[in-house]
Chains A and B, each alone.
Chain A
Amino acid sequence: AQKVTQAQTEISVVEKEDVTLDCVYETRDTTYYLFWYKQPPSGELVFLIRRNSFDEQNEISGRYSWNFQKSTSSFNFTITASQVVDSAVYFCALSSNSWGKLQFGAGTQVVVTP
């Protein structure tokens, strides 16, 4: 069975602080994909990153960075120098087949205050 755990329910930071969101996954498959999505208060789900199980390179995109470690089954997400616009719920998700079923974590609410 697949499972995604986001243990942090809510994280509150002051603007310009860094924030790291944890994601731990479980799967028996050797080929799988990990995702992060952002859901701002408006409700739409915004795609942030997709990573396959064979690519453990960390990735940086602007203020966002991701740390994928297969040894600990983790795919953590860091926002550097947070801004108020980063306030949203962030979901980690797992897919381990080519037919698209996404298993979502519970989500982490990030609140950035000025």
Chain B
Amino acid sequence: SAVISQKPSRDICQRGTSLTIQCQVDSQVTMMFWYRQQPGQSLTLIATANQGSEATYESGFVIDKFPISRPNLTFSTLTVSNMSPEDSSIYLCSVEVVAGDTQYFGPGTRLTVL
């Protein structure tokens, strides 16, 4: 497994602003992912964070709204841009140490947009 941390753990933001969420892993991992969990809902994959190249986005999610970086094998960021109240969710980072292995999740970032 891997130890995953996320910063911030929670935040309250104003409409129209942006927030960058960091995901740090204690060891090198092959795959990193970002998920969104809207209030009372299940998890939805936003994108796969690719090291050294552009992230791969799922249907319904675009780079302009959710830019992602992954500069190395232990770190990734997700930015939620031009936020609206509909972006209020828990954002979770997950990793696979080895591709195809079990996904482990970070503690999540609880975002509230006013």
Contact = CB atoms under 8 A, between A and B. Distances in A.
B102 A47 contact: yes
30 contacts: A35-B103, A37-B105, A43-B107, A44-B105, A45-B43, A45-B94, A45-B105, A47-B104, A47-B105, A50-B102, A91-B42, A91-B43, A95-B103, A99-B48, A99-B99, A100-B33, A100-B48, A100-B96, A100-B99, A100-B100, A101-B33, A101-B45, A101-B48, A101-B58, A102-B45, A102-B94, A104-B42, A105-B42, A106-B41, A107-B42
The 3 closest A-B pairs by CB, nearest first: A98-B100, A45-B105, A44-B107
Contacts of B43: 45, 91, 102, 104
Nearest to B90: A43
* Interface band, chain A: 20 to 34
A98 B92 CA distance: 20
A43 B111 CA distance: 12
Contacts, number: 55
B32 to A, nearest CB: 9
Interface residues of B, number: 24
A95 B102 CA distance: 10
A86 B94 CA distance: 23
Main secondary structure of the interface of B (DSSP, over half): strand
Interface of B: 1, 31, 33, 41-45, 48, 58, 90, 92, 94, 96, 99-100, 102-108, 110
A43 B107 CA distance: 7
Given A99-B31, A99-B48, A100-B33, A45 B92 contact: yes
Contact of A44 (B31, B99, B100, B108): B108
Contacts of A45: 43, 92, 94, 105, 108
Most buried by A among B44, B90, B103, B110: B103
Nearest to B110: A43
A100 B103 contact: yes
